[in-house]
Structure formats: C-alpha cells, structure tokens
Amino acid sequence: MSARAAIFGLAGRVLTDNEAAFFRDADPWGFILFARNVDTPKQLAKLCVSLRDAVGREAPVFIDQEGGRVQRLRPPHWRDAPPAALFGKLYAEDAGAAKEAVWLNHRLIAHELRSSGIDADCAPCLDLAIEGADAVIGDRAYGSDAGVIAALGQSAMDGLMAGGVAPVIKHVPGHGRADADSHFHLPRVRESLERLTETDFAPFAALRHAPMGMTAHIVYDALDAEAPATMSEAAIAHIREKIGFDGLLMTDDLSMKALSGSFEERTRRSIDAGCDVVLHCNGDRKEMIAIADAAPLLSGPAVARAEAAEDARTQRDEFDVRSGLAKLDSLMAGVAS
C-alpha cells in the first residue's frame, strides 16, 4: 500500500479542482467529513465518489456520527440518534435491552452512512463520564462504569461492522477524566497508573481487538508528564503493550489547540511516537501541505493494520431498516432524556 499516512478533510460541499489535484499528489490514506461538507444524501454520495476518484481507489471516508451532540448528519435528511448516556440509563434497567438497542442504533447509523458513501465512523466513544471533569465528554459517554462502557461499546462496534462501516474507538487511552477541552487547551490527567488501569483504560483494553483507535491529546502524568499521548512514545507503547491495542492507531485532529508546534512538527512527533496515521480535519490546504510533506507513506505493521481496517467495511448482514427503527424506538421508549 503506497498511500500516505494521513486522513484529510476538505473545505466545502464540492471537491474543488485545486483540492482534487492536491489529494491526487498527496494520496492520503483516507478522508474525513464534517457538517460543512454535508447538504443532502445525493450531494454527499457524489462528494464521496469525487474524493475516491481523486486518489484512484476505494479510500475510507470517515465521519463523526456518535449520536447526541456529535453527529454530522442530522434531520431532515438523517435520523437524530440518541446520545450514548441514554443507552447507559437503559443498561441500568435491562442490560440485554441496552445492548440490543445500541446494536440497532449503530446498525441504523451504518445504513445511513453507507447509503451516502461513508464507510468509517469515529465511534464508539469509550471514555468514562467523570464527575467534575470537563464537559467535552459528558453524555457522549455510556456511563462511569468501565464494564458497562465495554459491553455497550462492543455492541456499537458490532452494529457498525454488520452494516459495512469500520469503527474507531476513541479516545485512547481515555478522555473522560480530562480537566480541559482538548479542542482549545492541553488537558492533564494526574491519576495514578493503577487507578487509570482499573477505570479509564479498561474499556480500551476490553475492545483492544477494534480495527481502529483514535488517540487523546492529553498528558497523563503516570505515562509521560511532558507530552500528550498522541506524541508520547511512552504512552503509545503503553497502548500497544499494556492495553494491548494492535489496530490502526490514528491521531485526533492535529489542528486542535491542545497541540503546539508547526504542522510538520506535530506530524513527525505523532508518527515517531508510534501513531500509524495522522488526522487533519479543518480543510486548510496550507496546513495539509505541511502535513503531507512530513507524513511518510504507510509502511511496516501500519500497512497490515490499514488493510485490516479496510476489510472491516464489508457488510455482513441483511437488515430491514423500518423494523429495526421500530424495535429501537420500542426499546428506548421508557428512557428519560
């Protein structure tokens, strides 16, 4: 595989000639879409075809479609999916019903994404809901119990992959305890390694077989008091060797303000630390050019991980959307929002 170890966004709803030429030359492994890129299902499907045509292959196209606050596809053309916390509430009443509901929700998400040309979802979020932490996670978490999060996260992964959408577990090794929003500041987690292993890290260890994971731009004092996990060789080694994750490891967005330095530096530090692929989301071509200049081609174990992630896009079932939605509505009917 000769693709570059990068995932890039774009500026608008149509791929411009200049963007297409850049992507053709840079050859990123994949693309990521945001609300600014979305209008209608027909427009979105056409955009996905244009992106893949630019690189001449079936490159993965990602989106953040968790449900709740974080979903780029919204009504009137797409369903308003519930936030993770509601499924956690259902789990407290009926664990089996909650796991079924999460599977159905993500199978429906997979249908919606694949119908528009998207085949990779930056979900599920396996972070814990921690009282007193920054609100950036909040109801994006299934709850505060690592076992519940692991169980529901597995159902989410299974639902996505049944519909041919590759999941990305995030934010490895755990964002829930962060004291700031990494979109704007660099968070720091001061808990002991023993405590983190029992709590924040545990859902990621349980789902270490996931095809892809996304790092957290967070400093964990117990792993590396100097660098955020994305750029820390010690933190990535812990993710690989102790947590046991061996899927494709991508960074969170390199344009987030938690990180410092030039985009060349951010790219090199992330790859040198052990990330397989860097992610850049805002569509700024000047920044992407700098990243493309610094990002290597996929090589070594990253090639096999990328191929395995692409294989996770194979649809595995037949699914009746109408009956699936009716069943989900029935399961969620008594859960207070």
- For residue 17, being part of any structural domain is answered with no
pLDDT tens for the chain, 337 residues long, are 689 999 999 999 999 999 999 999 999 999 999 999 999 999 999 999 999 999 999 999 999 999 999 999 999 999 999 999 999 999 999 999 999 999 999 999 999 999 999 999 999 999 999 999 989 999 999 999 999 999 999 999 999 999 999 999 999 999 999 988 889 999 999 999 999 999 999 999 999 999 999 999 999 999 999 999 999 999 999 999 999 999 999 999 999 999 999 999 999 999 999 999 999 999 999 999 999 999 999 999 999 999 999 999 998 889 999 999 999 999 999 886 6
Active site residue 276: no
Contact 136, 174 (CB under 8 A): no
* 252 flagged as catalytic: yes
Is 214 contained in some domain? yes
Strand 212-215 to 248-253 pairing: parallel
Asked, for residue 15, whether it belongs to a domain, the answer is no
CA atoms within 13 A on the CB side of 107: 23
How far apart are alpha carbons 237 and 242 in whole angstroms? 8
Question: Which of 252, 253, 276, 280 is flagged as catalytic?
Answer: 252
Catalytic residue among 25, 183, 311, 317: 183
Asked whether residue 190 is domain-assigned, the answer is yes
- Tracing tokens 């007193």 back to the chain, one arrives at 132
Q: How far is Cα 121 from Cα 174, in angstroms, rounded to an integer?
A: 18
> Which CATH number do you get for residue 83?
3.20.20.300
Q: How many domains does the chain have?
A: 1
Is 337 a member of any domain?
no
* pTM to 2 decimal places: 0.96
Enclosing domain of residue 301: 62-283+296-332
Question: Following DSSP, what letter does each residue of 77-107 receive, concatenated?
Answer: TS--PPPHHHHHHHHHH-HHHHHHHHHHHHH
